[in-house]
Structure 1
């Protein structure tokens, strides 16, 4: 039995979740930044993972993948496309009239980062990463047990 498929799936999942953790950490690090030199403020980022499949989209593509079967080459070819995109959220305005970067009405434009959302995203990505590690370890254990059974026979 070939276990490379399950290893590849877990590795792809770990890569996506690591990217989610990195982006959440970057957003949290810039949560209290104000506008930059050029007048632009930090834009929070989001990770988008999209399935890549040849042919049509939706249920028909899924059915085609199931009917053709999965092998190691298809796992890499059908792996999701991961993109990091800005959210284009408007800046969070805080009334601080004494701040050097306050506008004429006394508001300072901070990055539109919601720290609670970012913490939840980071915790969820960490749990999903751990689940992928557990799945990979289980597949490895199964492969080792199969080798033990084969060597004892």
Structure 2
């Protein structure tokens, strides 16, 4: 009799991430030496985090920030794309819900990413968040523009 393999692969990790966006506490785990990258981070923000603790601290702070806190996410849809490497998937999330400040519905593709998983833990995540879409959904485009310096531009 063989034991069923219970170590989550990349698809299961993406599903856990998706459920976490709508309030499920399904845990995702990072390897101790994991790397999280956001190549298109906002100006002044770090683009790379190394190590489980640094990544977890960054993600916890980001989820408590303005735009994310201003969105009542009611549904998250994940589309997963297989690669030739069984430990790697590309994925995108589409979020929908209600903007807390405006009370209006929203739907937008919130991010795309590339995820590498080893032994059920994330070892590398390249995340490409849609800051513009999130700001628009949260009714925070003027704040984003001001932060980017667009306020003084003709």
Q: Which interval holds the TM-score relative to the shorter structure? A: under 0.3
TM superposition score normalised by structure 2: 0.26
Greater strand content: 2
Greater RCO between the two (CA within 8 Å, min separation 6)? 1
Could you say which structure has the larger radius of gyration? 1
